[in-house]
Amino acid sequence: MHGYDKVMKTKSIVRVLLVLLAGMATQSLAGSGVSSSTDHPGGGARAAQVRIDVFSDYQCPACRSFYLQTVRNVLDTYAGDNRVNVVYHDFPLQAHRYAREAARYALAVRRLGSAEWKALTDALYFRQAEWSSNGSIDTVASEALSSQDYASLKELLKDPSIDNDLEKELALGRALQVSSTPTFFIVANGLSQRVVGGVPLTVLESYLNRLLK
């Protein structure tokens, strides 16, 4: 395929995905019950015009791709200047052996702050293949965080409320009929649009730009 044909094919795919995403938006669920809590690190101000609630599993390959290829860029750009508030919810799937423990680490580290949460989230997704095979989540955490933050994390993991937080996250996901990851909700203008599966950065950017006009 020639270069021009590749470009046109890519543009065509993007247009189709935008139409599909817009179609999901027309099926918006007012009062869907997505939490507006800002206790979940991610990025952006609570007063942002658009909020994205992401239900994710650290051991899920599709979640890894969505985070590394799409969400990290949204955090840096749209959340970085407070146009979009990104909220992450832990939703470990039973099929993934170490996903629940990874979620516990994430829930604990978010109590230290968004920067610490992002450092660990980056590491868990970048090194997913490693800890998914041997359960070495603690090793990944110790190398992703400062010694002081890692020590604080280890103390937080002893708190029973971490497991309570995880059960609340799972209950919220079930209430919203989340059954696979990633599933995310784009909340704007009092409406919430459900999207099942990740989408390319170009598609999400185009859709966000329309909402932010």
In the predicted structure, residue 1 carries a pLDDT above the cut 60:
no
Q: For 18-72, write each residue's pLDDT tens digit.
A: 555 555 544 333 344 565 444 566 888 888 999 999 999 999 999 999 999 999 9
64/198 Cα distance (integer angstroms): 10
> What pLDDT does 42 receive?
80
Better-predicted residue by pLDDT, 21 or 173: 173
> What pLDDT does 31 receive?
44
CATH match for 3-211 among 3.50.50.60, 1.10.3080.10, 3.90.1150.10, 3.40.30.10: 3.40.30.10
Q: Of 16, 74, 69, 19, which Cα lies nearest the Cα of 212?
A: 74
> What pLDDT does 21 receive?
56
- Whether the Cβ atoms of residue 78 and residue 127 lie closer than 8 Å to each other: no
> What pLDDT does 44 receive?
83
Element housing 185 (H / E)? strand 183-188
> What pLDDT does 185 receive?
95
In the chain, where the domains are located: 3-211
In the predicted structure, residue 73 carries a pLDDT above the cut 80:
yes
SS3 content of the chain, % helix, strand, coil (to 5): 55, 15, 35
Report residue 44 as tokens.
């952006």
Q: For 96-143, write each residue's pLDDT tens digit.
A: 999 999 999 999 999 999 899 999 999 999 999 999 999 999 999 999
In the predicted structure, residue 197 carries a pLDDT above the cut 90:
yes
Confidence grade of residue 189 (pLDDT, cut at 50, 70, 90):
confident
